[in-house]
Amino acid sequence: MAKEYETVIGLEVHVELATKTKIFCGCSTAFGGSPNSHTCPVCTGMPGSLPVLNKQVVEYAAAVGLATNCTITQNCKFDRKNYFYPDNPQNYQISQLYLPICRNGHVDIELEDGTTKQIRIHEIHMEEDAGKLVHDEWDDVSYVDYNRSGVPLIEIVSEPDMRSAEEVIAYLDKLRLIIQYLGASDCKLQEGSMRADVNLSVREAGSEAFGTRTETKNLNSFSAIARAIEAEKNRQIDLIESGEAVVQETRRWDDNKEYSYAMRSKEDAQDYRYFPDPDLVPVHISDAWLEEIRSRQPEFKTEKMARYKEEFGIPDYDIGILTDSKKLADLFEATTAICSQPKKVSNWLMGETMRILKEKEMEPEDITFSPENLAKLIGLVEAGTINGSVAKEIFEKIFDEDINPEQYVEEHGLKQVNDEGALRATIEEVIAANPQSVEDYRNGKEKAIGFLVGQTMKAMKGKANPGMVNQILKELL
Amino acid sequence: MSLLELTAVELAKEIKAGKTTAVEAMKAVLEQIEKTEETYHCYITIDKEKAMQAAKEAQEKIEAGTLTGPLAGVPVAIKDNLCTKGVVTTCASKILENFVPQYDAEAVVKLQEAGAVMIGKTNMDEFAMGSTTETSAYGVTKNPRNPEHVPGGSSGGSAAAVAADECFFALGSDTGGSIRQPASYCGVVGMKPTYGTVSRYGLVAYGSSLDQIGPLCKDVTDCATIMEVIASHDLKDSTSVERKDTDFTSALVDDVKGMRIGIPKDYFGEGLDPDVKASVLNAVEVLKAKGAIVEEFDLSLVEYAIPTYYTIAAAEASSNLERFDGVKYGYRAKDYEGLHNMYKKTRSEGFGPEVKRRIMLGSFVLSSGYYDAYYLKALRVKALIKKAFDEAFAKYDVIIGPAAPTTAPKLGSSLSDPIKMYLSDIYTISVNLAGLPGMTVPCGTDKNGLPVGMQLIGNCFEEKKLIQTAYTYEQSRKEN
């Protein structure tokens, strides 16, 4: 009989913080920019340069710690992690080992079977990102771009509390939501502003001891994480079943080949010679400062859901989706505040907005249109100034360019035709031109009316009031 | 009287009074350099044209009344581990042979604001690691008091330049005695301020938690004046301290009545040259005669200072010097295969033996399995040393002892025995470990005519007591 195995997973999650400037100098963290245009003596490791801590990094890290029930280390320190690589200009990374800013936290994740599970957080620490190597395509040389060097990161280290890909994804999604709500990062796996390394081991079901773990890197989407977990679990079980040992090592996932390969084993592991960075003084987070950070914590998903139910009376399903993104929730609240039509706003966000996002492979965080223009669009429909299909067309314009719909309707003559005389004249023409459909309808083919409505709308360039068209058609037939 | 005999402050006054000019002063210094530099080799880099041009510009500003600082027009020499914009900064190492900073060290900026004019960059031990200025990749500096002897180190070039009148004053850096010991060997005044008083921005780091920039100069008045200029709270240096008591010249008072002076017995025991001992104790007698209360005491822990210092300084240095890798600036080996080999060859060829020794020592004490036994233990001893000083300063205003166990050794006699060289730092390094201010003033000569320096040690932020005591002593010497 085959043995049963349990998978044990812990995560190391790196999150790039949304500060305007780098962690130890005043250089911009903006993406893009020609190579080395966002650099100075500090982030390029020039002799004699010194780091100065960006306070915003401490505030973001502490805010994430508070939201994940961590204890905040009110006297924390930075340490140097020494290793040579050209993307690391000082050949040491400033990080935290001995006294990280947050420890002993947890988050609760909701699973598909309706249960919740607590995932413990070992620590959260602050550190600097490295630069980027650019390898010449033709020549055997590499160049270094230090624009990313010194961009602030936090690393969230969980305890080995997860048992499946589902739990891992639920945990990551929970972290993403919390951090996005805090505005501490946009948390995009694809773009690397959130990166997860998976520590995984397997053990016989019922065993208390941990197996030998591996760390898998280069996971750029939730689906890649799920595939990598499945593959690594199976690889380890196969090794054990065939009597071989799992080697403690770091592996790199190739999502195209759906295969991971070993990068380095524990034996090759470098000695980072960590020690407290003498250039930085200990960070003292006073009670008052901590209280200030605490008082600025936003309303998170759970509280928001309860409030929406009470305040807006929209369905639970809508609430779930709207609050799953800070951006959507903010947009919902701002638009509703203008037009006082929560259900209508929700319909636009859940329907057309989500449809276009999916079509364009965008995230809600990428939305650029304003609540004002969505509110105006809803107002135009409610007033009967435009019909539903015209509204959908205009919405696409709003989504892309944030146009003012009132002005647009005016300029393009898109007002709905409610003039019964004009409608009747057009419908009479349509009836005359389509005797077959008229015949079909009269013979009991109800559906034929749809064709005639369509022809009328077409003749009136979509601006006809659809309710009136239906009514007049039925009357004339 | 030659211009060169003037102190920095005297020269500035003469220039201000129109009796001479910044250009004349620079000319005099450059002529002196022409005469003696070949023998002493105080400098690594001198750009005469640039120096003359800068002197001319300073003079114009002085005449226009826009430059009125206390050092306006005074030629200064800068230790070559302080970054100077557009001027090669080598740290006396091959690995930085072609490094031209895009920025000035903050202390250099402060001097420029006060109107001082840079002559050039002085020789030193490579990356400030050494006690003789013999580990420089650019040749040794000789002691102007006797060219067969070393000037001390690591700020040997700066001390020698002051002693040889090749400048009016100089900046040095002090991690374990690198200002106070060469000042003692060359017979000049030198001060290492309280840690955090002078910004370290632009000082190429050796032991970051111990490094401080300070002056080497002709007398105590110059020392206080320069200190007043270079002390600053700099937001670019996280370890910089905001002080409101940097009016150091206010302590130029000829009076030590009631000043409590502690003489640590541990500083006068075995290994101390009898001539040095006699000179320092004589100086103490002078202060006593002027009304100071002198008392012997046990400082304790002195013997642990050296291993503690070499553990902490080497650990920090091993990390600080990692950035010199041939990737971004400085020397890169000519032939190499791949990245790892490039690193290895560049650093093997670029660093000298003393620097390599300390990188290896530092890497070892930080390595996994040894960190607790060496580095952490050293940090604990450092805290105990600080405590011992705290207890002493509860009783005394100033602690006085020698700056070094001997006068300047002969050239070539130190490097063969590094342990012996390390032991010669015994009186200076605990001051860095405790972050205290320390000062050296000349107090006589040995039987061979080599200068002896007296070291004054104060509590944190009490440079003024050192200045007042040293000034009083200096006045009594002038009287005699």
Integer CA distances (angstroms), B83 to A340, B154, B172, B231, in order: 63, 16, 12, 17
Query: Which among B163, B162, B237 is positioned nearest to B197, based on CA atoms?
Result: B237
Interface check A133 vs B, CB under 8 A? no
Which pLDDT score is estimated for A147?
A: 96
Contact state of A279 with B204 under an 8 Å Cβ cutoff: no
Q: Does the pLDDT of residue A44 top 90, yes or no?
A: yes
Which pLDDT score is estimated for B303?
A: 87
Structure confidence at residue A468 as a pLDDT band (50, 70, 90): confident
Chain A residues whose beta carbon lies within 8 Å of the beta carbon of residue B316: 275, 278
Residue B433 covered by a domain: no
Q: Does the pLDDT of residue A344 top 90, yes or no?
A: yes
**The pair of three-digit structure tokens given for residue A26, joined into one six-digit string:** 């005043």
Whether the Cβ atoms of residue A381 and residue A395 lie closer than 8 Å to each other:
no
**The pair of three-digit structure tokens given for residue B168, joined into one six-digit string:** 């009016």
User: Model-level pTM?
Assistant: 0.91
Give the tens place of pLDDT for each residue, A137-176: 888 889 999 999 999 999 999 999 999 999 999 999 999 9
Which pLDDT score is estimated for B311?
A: 97
Which pLDDT score is estimated for B1?
A: 63
Give the tens place of pLDDT for each residue, B33-67: 999 999 999 999 999 999 999 999 999 999 999 99
Q: Does the pLDDT of residue A332 top 90, yes or no?
A: yes
Chain A residues whose beta carbon lies within 8 Å of the beta carbon of residue B368: 271, 273
Interface check B255 vs A, CB under 8 A? no
Q: Does the pLDDT of residue A270 top 90, yes or no?
A: no
In sequence order, what are the beta bridge partners of A199?
A10, A215
Count the Cβ atoms, other than its own, within 10 Å of residue A431.
18
Residue B292 covered by a domain: no
User: Which helix (H) or strand (E) element contains residue A108?
Assistant: strand A102-110
**The pair of three-digit structure tokens given for residue A82, joined into one six-digit string:** 């020494």
**Every domain of chain A and the residues it spans:** 5-289, 299-412, 420-476
Check B93, B154, B424, B430 and give the catalytic one.
B154
Contact state of B205 with A279 under an 8 Å Cβ cutoff: yes
Based on the residue annotation, tell me whether B414 is a catalytic residue of this protein: no
Question: How many angstroms separate the CA atoms of A298 and A275, rounded?
Answer: 36
Give the tens place of pLDDT for each residue, A97-140: 999 999 999 999 999 999 999 999 999 999 999 999 999 888 88
Say which CATH number the domain at B198 has. 3.90.1300.10
Residue by residue, DSSP assigns B79-135 as ETTB-BTTB---TT-GGGTT---SS--HHHHHHHHTT-EEEEEE--SGGG--SSS-S
A-to-B residue pairs, Cβ atoms closer than 8 angstroms: 98
Interface check B105 vs A, CB under 8 A? yes
Based on the residue annotation, tell me whether B154 is a catalytic residue of this protein: yes
Residues of chain B with pLDDT under 50: none
| Three-state secondary-structure class, residue A275 | strand
Residue B73 covered by a domain: yes
Angle at which helices A466-476 and A448-459 cross, to 10°: 120
| pLDDT averaged over every residue in chain A | 92
First vs last Cα of chain A: how many Å apart? 75
For A40, name the nearest residue in chain B, comparing CA atoms only.
B102
Based on the residue annotation, tell me whether B178 is a catalytic residue of this protein: yes
Q: Tell me which residue range forms the domain holding B76.
A: 3-251
Which pLDDT score is estimated for B454?
A: 98
**The pair of three-digit structure tokens given for residue B464, joined into one six-digit string:** 């003024």
CATH number of A420-476: 1.10.10.410
Interface check A46 vs B, CB under 8 A? yes
Query: Which among A384, A395, A402, A400 is positioned nearest to A463, based on CA atoms?
Result: A384
Which pLDDT score is estimated for A99?
A: 97
Which pLDDT score is estimated for A449?
A: 82
Question: How many angstroms separate the CA atoms of B62 and B341, rounded?
Answer: 54
Question: How many angstroms separate the CA atoms of A251 and A326, rounded?
Answer: 34
Total of domains in chain B: 1
Q: Does the pLDDT of residue A465 top 90, yes or no?
A: no
Residue B239 covered by a domain: yes
The three-state (H, E, C) secondary structure of B430-445, written as one string: HHHHCCCCEEEEEEEE
Whether the Cβ atoms of residue A135 and residue A144 lie closer than 8 Å to each other:
no
Structure confidence at residue A363 as a pLDDT band (50, 70, 90): confident
Question: How many angstroms separate the CA atoms of B362 and B319, rounded?
Answer: 8
